Amino acid sequence: MSHKKNIKFDWAIKRLLRNKANYKILEGFLSELLREDVIILNIGESEGNQDSAEDKFNRVDIMVENTHDEIFLIELQNSSEADYFMRMLYGVSRAITNHIQQGSDYIKVRKVYSINIVYFEIGQGSDYVYHGLNEFRGIHHNDLLQLSTKQKAYFGKDAISHLYPEYYIIKVNGFDDVAKDTLDEWIYYLKNDVILDEFKAKGLPEARQILQIDALSAQERAAYYRHIDMLLLEKNAISDSKNEGLAEGRAEGRAEGEAERKTLKVAIEKEKAERKTLEAAIEKEKAEREALEAAIAKEKAEREALEAAIEKEKAERKALEAAREKEKAEREALESEIAKLKRLYDKQ
C-alpha cells in the first residue's frame, strides 16, 4: 500500500522548521529522542546551513537553543565521510568555544547535544540509534565517579555525564520499518518521508499537517524537486563511482594476482634451494654431533680408565705404607729384643 509522501526532513529543517510557529515539530523530535520534554527558545544561524550541496565547511544543518540554555546541533548527512566521527567532535567543540566569552568562569560552558541523522553506514554495530556520553570509571574498582552533594547543587546536575556533550547517531538505513515505539515513528518518517495516520509521537501530528508537498508554493515546490533530483544524482554518482572502483579493482586484482603468482613461484624455488642447503647443513651438523659424541665417549672411557689407575695406585700406595709400618714395627720389636739381650749379657 502506497502512502502520500511528506516533505523530506532535511528540506523541512532548513526551510520550514525555523519558523517559530513550527517549533513544535522539532520540539517533538528532540523530546522523543531525549525522552524528556524539550522547549525551543531559539533556532540560530549555523555555519553548516549552506546553500551549496558541495560546501563542506562544518555542515551542521541547524543549531537549536532550549529553555535550559542547552545547545542542540542537528545534522542530516546523506553521503558517507570517513572522518565523520571527527567532524562531530569538531562541531561540538566549535559550539562550546563560540558560546563562551574569554575569561568567563567554566560554569558558563554550555551543555551541547550533537544529533546526527545519517543515511550511510558509519562504524560497525547492529543497532540503528546510538547514544554517546562521557563517564569516568575507576581503573581498579570500576566504580563510576559521581558528583558530590555540593557539586550537584552548584551545577544543578545529578551526574558528571550531564555536564559534558552528548552524541546521538541515528543510522536511518539500519531501521527495519517496524515502529516499536514513538521514536521509531520518527525514524520511519526520516527513512520513508511518510507519516502514517496511526503515528502519535510528539511533533508528528503537526508535521503531518504542515509538511505537505502540496502546501508549498509553486516556486518552493520547484526548488524542492530540484533538491530531490540533486540527492538522486549524488546517490547515483556515488553508486557509479563504487561500480567503477570495483571494475578497476578487478582488473588491478587480476594483474596483481599474476604478478603475485610469479613472485610466489620465484619464492617457492628459492625456498626449495634454501631447504636443500638447510638439509645439507643439518646432515653435516648431525655428523659433527655424532663425531663429537664419539670423542666425548672416548674421553669419558679414558677418564674412567685414568680414575681406575689412580684408584689402583692409591690402593698400592696404602698397601706399601702398611708394609712399611709393619716392617718398622718388626724392626722396632727386633731392636727392643736385641737391647734386652744385651742388658742380660752385661749383667752376667
pLDDT of residue 246: 56
Q: Where are the domains of the chain?
A: 9-215
How many percent of the chain have pLDDT more than 70? 89
- Edge-to-edge strand list for the sheet holding 71-77: 40-44, 62-66, 71-77, 112-118, 166-171, 129-132
Q: How far apart are CA 294 and CA 56, in angstroms?
A: 81
pLDDT of residue 24: 96
* Strand pairing report for 112-118 and 62-66: unpaired
**CA dihedral sign of residues 233, 234, 237, 239:** negative
- Residue type for 171, please? K
The β-bridge partners of 42 are: 65
For the stretch 210-239, what's the b/e string if a residue is b when 16 or more beta carbons lie within 10 angstroms of its beta carbon? bbebeebeeeeeeebeebeeebeeeeeeee
pLDDT of residue 249: 59
Q: What is the largest CA-CA distance in the chain?
A: 175
Q: How far apart are CA 92 and CA 90, in angstroms?
A: 5
Cβ neighbours, 10 Å, residue 122? 19
Q: How many CA atoms lie within 13 A of 220 on its CB side?
A: 13
Residue 114: name the closest of 63, 183, 58 by CA.
Answer: 63
Total number of residues shown for the chain: 348
**CA dihedral sign of residues 293, 294, 295, 300:** positive
Q: How far apart are CA 266 and CA 272, in angstroms?
A: 10
Whether the full predicted model's pTM is greater than 0.85, yes or no, is no
pLDDT of residue 58: 34
Helices and strands of the chain, counted as H and E runs: 7, 6
| Successive 10-residue mean pLDDT values, the chain, 348 residues | 84 89 96 97 68 43 93 91 92 93 90 95 95 97 97 95 97 96 98 96 96 90 85 66 59 72 80 81 86 91 91 92 91 89 85
Q: How far apart are CA 256 and CA 4, in angstroms?
A: 51
pLDDT of residue 229: 82
